[in-house]
Structure 1
Amino acid sequence: MGGRRLATWTDFRCLITGGSRGIGFAIADELTRLGAQVVIVGRDPARVNAAARLLSDGRLGHATGLAVSIDGRETTAERLVEQALTTLGGLDGLVNAAGGATVGHALTVPWDVWQRDVATKFWGYFALMRAAAPVLQSPGGVMVNLVGVAGKDPNPRLAPGTVINGALRGLIKILADDLAPRGIRVLAVNPGATETDLLHEMAQGYARLNSTTVEEALKGLKASGPLGRLPTAVDIAKAVVFLMSDDAALISGTSIDIDGGVHRGPA
């Protein structure tokens, strides 16, 4: 299941942002079931601590929760990496999974929302990769970033995500080249609409934008997958765990779509 990592998965230590719910939680769930030690990060103290307890209950691995808001500041990222190192005794993996998907057009999304989204996802991801790169296991370290298909298929109704995800794809390629001599891999995973609570938040945004009901917007999102269903958080998590495993040792500097075939451009 998921391939081997280092000697066994019990040797794997990972920092996961956005780890208290959705895809980030599902990734932590897969890793702790395999025996990995993880630190999960979330904004809400009660939620992240409850998630860590659940991820440690009856698992081969163990989870520790940290209540921190990803704000794009270098000092925040450095502090998080230091805390993860202290807790785990080292760091083999980083998963950036924080941030949502604001629905809206470029000229109508409020400026403060643009700034918040860019700070959380672009600067937040970049700051954590910068902070983690010097201390990641070398060779063998891996960074996986949850980006999104809007970075490939520009969507005027998801303007902030389109811009941020496109920029992250370029950044990830550059960092993969920079870190390749040390044997550290850097990847992007691109979910489309996914069956998580974020899907309902997106449906609310589309309903406002299109003057329709949330139920109709949700139905439209769920009907968008050519394979007949949308991916679940577990679908994404299983693919991420594979990409972090030794079975994917030569996959780096690229982005993998896990969207049920939603991406319409060339592969």
Structure 2
Amino acid sequence: MLLKGKVAVITGAGPGLGRTLSVLMAREGASLVVAARSRDTLEKIATEVSAEVDGEVLPVPTDVTDAAQVKALADATIERFGKVDVLVTAAFPGTHRKNVLDMDDAYLARWRQAVDIAAYGTLLACRHIAPHMLERGGSIVNLTSMSSRMGYGGRSDYAAGKAAVHLLSHALADELGPQGVRVNCVAPGWIASDVLEDWMRTRAAAEGTTYEDILARDTGAMALRRIATEEDVARAVIFLASDQAKATTGATIDVNAGQHFT
């Protein structure tokens, strides 16, 4: 098991990718601390992981933009496990598409909140958890996006937040490398989900065609002719978190099925 004996903290451990990360990292032997704003969501994930894997899972409700709560997350991890080996940051709110010139005051506030969760939330998690890695070394894996390199109309909040995390990770890799702490990114493209399928069906209806035609067109532009799954993304995270990547830092693994080459 790639993470046997390691303690991993996952922020943004909500439904979808966060849950998949939790399950697969636990299968690889990690003890987990899962953090998100919703206690109910975290307890559900902890129950699901514990039912499938004989490992420890500590749910800690956390708003990653609140420094006191993030520090409490770090303290709870050390109190329970005595160490932390891996930090995975995956917190980001769901957003709606809106062009910059169409944003009213309320949406401008949402835009700022989205960037705060991605960028400032990642900064706070690293600031308060990385110090506990300095004696033994460790691995930080930040979830960015294909959009951190190429923005799309209507998604400037997503692109700006993820781009900030991307370059923050470079700076942290330089700062923490001498202490043996590695900092890397995983940048997913589209991830197969009900939300993505609904968006494709909406496009199909608007164009007067079928979902199957839209899917074939979109995947036809991808080198692997398919859309990446949550497990595909989680496996890249696990690799970077593990000792298999012990000489890799300041890097980004793209998981987009060949939708965009870098």
Q: CA deviation at 1:139?
A: 3.6
Q: Report the CA distance shift for 1:62/1:261 in structure 2 as closer, same or farther (over 3 A).
A: same
1:104 is matched with which residue?
98
Percent identity over the alignment?
26
**What is the TM-score of this pair, normalised by structure 2?**
0.86
Aligned CA distance change for structure 1 residues 170 and 32 (closer, same or farther; 3 Å): same
Q: 1:262 aligns with which of 253, 259, 262?
A: 259
Corresponding position of 1:245: 242
Q: How does 1:53-92 map to 2 (within 5 A)?
A: 53-70=47-64, 72-92=65-85
The one-letter amino acid of 2:236's match is A
- 5+ residue gaps, structure 2, are none
Q: Please, which runs of 5 or more residues in structure 1 have no aligned partner?
A: none
| Equivalent AA in structure 1 for residue 44 of structure 2 | A
Q: 1:31 is aligned with what amino acid? A: M
Q: Provide the rounded CA distance (Å) in 1 between the counterparts of 2:245 and 2:49.
A: 25
Other-structure match for 1:28: 22
Give 1 or 2 for the bigger CA radius of gyration: 2
Decide whether aligned partners of structure 1 residues 69 and 197 sit closer, same or farther in structure 2, where only a CA change above 3 A counts.
farther
Q: Does 1:44 align with 2:38?
A: yes
Q: How many residues get paired?
A: 254
Amino acid at match of 1:262: Q
Match of 1:17 among 4, 11, 15: 11
Q: Give the 3 Å change call, closer, same or farther, for CA 197–131 of structure 1 in structure 2.
A: farther
SS at match of 2:102: coil
Q: Deviation digits for residues 33-69 of structure 1, max 9, x if unmatched?
A: 1221001112222221011011012414221222233
Q: Which amino acid aligns with 2:24?
A: E
Q: Within 5 Å, give how 1:1-267 maps onto structure 2.
A: 3=2, 5=3, 9=4, 11-70=5-64, 72-100=65-93, 102=95, 103-109=97-103, 110-136=107-133, 138-199=135-196, 203=199, 219=215, 225-264=222-261, 267=262
- Equivalent residue letter for 1:27: L
- What's the TM-score, normalizing by structure 1? 0.85
Q: RMSD over aligned Cα, in angstroms? A: 2.6
